[in-house]
A = this chain, B = another copy of it.
Amino acid sequence: MGNKVAAVIGGGVIGGGWAARFLLNGWDVQIFDPDPQAERKVGEVLANARRSTPGLVDVVLPAEGKLTFHDTIEGAVDGAVWIQESVPEQLAIKHKTFAQIQGVCAPDAVIGSSTSGFKPSQLQEGAARPGQIIVAHPFNPVYLLPLIEVVPTAENTPAFLDGAEAILTSMGFYPLRVRKEIDAHIADRFLEAVWREALWLVKDGIATTEEIDNAIRYGFGIRWAQMGLFETYRVAGGEAGMKHFMAQFGPCLSWPWTKLMDVPEFTDELVDLIAGQSDAQSGAYSIRELERIRDNNLVSMMRALKAQDWGAGALMNAQEATLRAASPTGTRIDQMADVSTPLLTVHRAVPLDWTDYNGHMTEAKYLQVFGDATDRFMNMIGCDAEYIGAGGSYFTAETHIRHVDEALAGAVIAVRTQVLSGAGKKMHLFHELFEGERLLATGEHFLLHVNLETRRPSEPSAPVLAALERVADAHAALPSPKGVGRAVGQRP
């Protein structure tokens, strides 16, 4: 692809997002934007991108490229092999911008337009070289979302388009080539349809903006994050398949809420066309397989949101808090009459996102379980969210895990925690992980209480220390568990 130099013409949220995507994939970026605030605005987008984009994949990205700001379009375009236009949505401005770009740019450079409103034939009107202009329509945040709608005309050669798409793909984009130009391309037609419907619902007092957002994100929104419209409906149709689904759902098109608009006639030809395309798209999987893929995806995304305490994940945390309050794992030491035996700190089912393709719990999740057990024990002795918020916590200094046996997705597992010692800043725990009576692993952990401001060891509060010492004293009478004090590879 020659030298990795991109010009970004127009540096708002969208232009800044393009700049970030190029830079973080190792391209030099040359920006032109007459807005005196452009450098600050691009800098803010870039700050967001730098914290989120580099860790997306499990390998380091190329070294970040060089960012420069230019006073003229000519200066920004110099040497660029990709020129991305994100100026305001007015055709005259776009035409003038293209003329300036084409006055200086390489004839084989790609000129992509971020337009959502214009068709490529409109953009190419009157251009010196229409064949180097395409629509390359991104989605915000451009540094994260993969979709780029690539809309060409007959002026763009197949070789040119292949080259442009290869560049997009190399940066983690998904170029979706639109077969025929159409107003608003593809995705924005859906967004417009939903937006119109939403405006009616708000205006008519059916729902507020928040209720509408919840209707989306707690239902079909999370489905659409992993399968789109047709594959979701294919699964919903069940064993009888897409034709059956359409037979069920199609007639709804003539229901009252379609009175406002034309709808496509529901002919056999249309049903066959859609069912055939759906077979080509998803036919490699049975409905049963698609259901399980869908569920794996949903569980994984919902648990990802749970860790962020947002959306569906926040609902899950609320349900969990209620269940936890009624569970021994949610009980504090000062509420327990007897702490003389190892304490139940984890009691849960192995979730789908903790397992490999064979359904076995993966290695790293053993430390996840033991870390969770430590967190619960900390909560039990009063080192809870409030305490941590006030600046104290325990940090793990050292861990030893013995992997004894395997667990499958759905298995109900439990951790019992014995305090080997607890005094002053120090806490020495031994966790045993079971499925029923079967020992799966042990985790031995040495922790230090720290001051979260200095990140240095410090004394815990008196109540926390008292609770810890109460358990440590009670557990001192227990036998030393098998595996304590082992070094890795030591003979039994």
Contact = CB atoms under 8 A, between A and B. Distances in A.
A281 interface: yes
Interface residues of A, number: 178
Interface string A337-378: 000000000011111111000000011111110011010000
A179 interface: yes
A480 interface: no
A253 interface: yes
Contact of A397 (B260, B365, B402): B402
Q: Which of A221, A257, A308, A399 counts the most chain B CB atoms within 10 A? A: A221
Contacts of A58: 320, 348, 372
A34 interface: no
Interface in A305-355: 305-308, 310-312, 315-317, 319-320, 322-324, 327, 329-330, 347-354
Contact of A298 (B52, B349, B368): B52
B225 A301 contact: yes
Contacts of A236: 13, 140
Interface stretch (A69-77, A190-198, A461-469): A190-198
Contact of A347 (B60, B317, B351): B60
Q: A-B pairs with the 3 shortest C-beta distances?
A: A213-B228, A55-B351, A221-B224
A320 B215 contact: no
A50 to B, nearest CB: 6
Contact of A316 (B56, B190, B226): B56
A150 to B, nearest CB: 11
A400 interface: yes
A362 B372 contact: no
Interface string A450-479: 000001000000000000000000000000
Contacts of A50: 410
Contact of A213 (B227, B294, B298, B306): B227
A471 B141 CA distance: 44
Given A48-B295, A399-B399, 10 more contacts: A141-B291, A176-B211, A196-B258, A202-B274, A203-B264, A209-B231, A209-B277, A213-B229, A367-B368, A398-B488
A178 to B, nearest CB: 7
Contacts of A294: 141
Contact of A178 (B57, B206, B306, B410): B206
A255 B183 contact: yes
Given A193-B197, A219-B187, A364-B371, A59 B299 contact: no
Contacts of A207: 178-179, 186
* Copies in the assembly, this chain: 2
Contacts of A208: 277, 280-281
A446 B190 contact: no
Given A51-B409, A198-B230, A406-B455, A304 B353 contact: yes
A210 interface: yes
A449 interface: no
A60 B218 CA distance: 22
A423 interface: no
Contacts of A167: none
Q: Which of A196, A216, A300, A307 counts the most chain B CB atoms within 10 A? A: A216
A486 B489 contact: no
A192 B258 contact: yes
B261 A260 contact: yes
A299 B55 contact: yes
A423 to B, nearest CB: 12
B293 A308 contact: yes
A368 B364 CA distance: 5
Contacts of A170: 319, 322
Q: Which of A218, A315, A354, A446 counts the most chain B CB atoms within 10 A? A: A218
A218 B179 contact: no
B299 A144 contact: yes
A222 B117 CA distance: 22
A217 interface: yes
Interface string A137-160: 001110011110100000000000
A371 B401 CA distance: 13
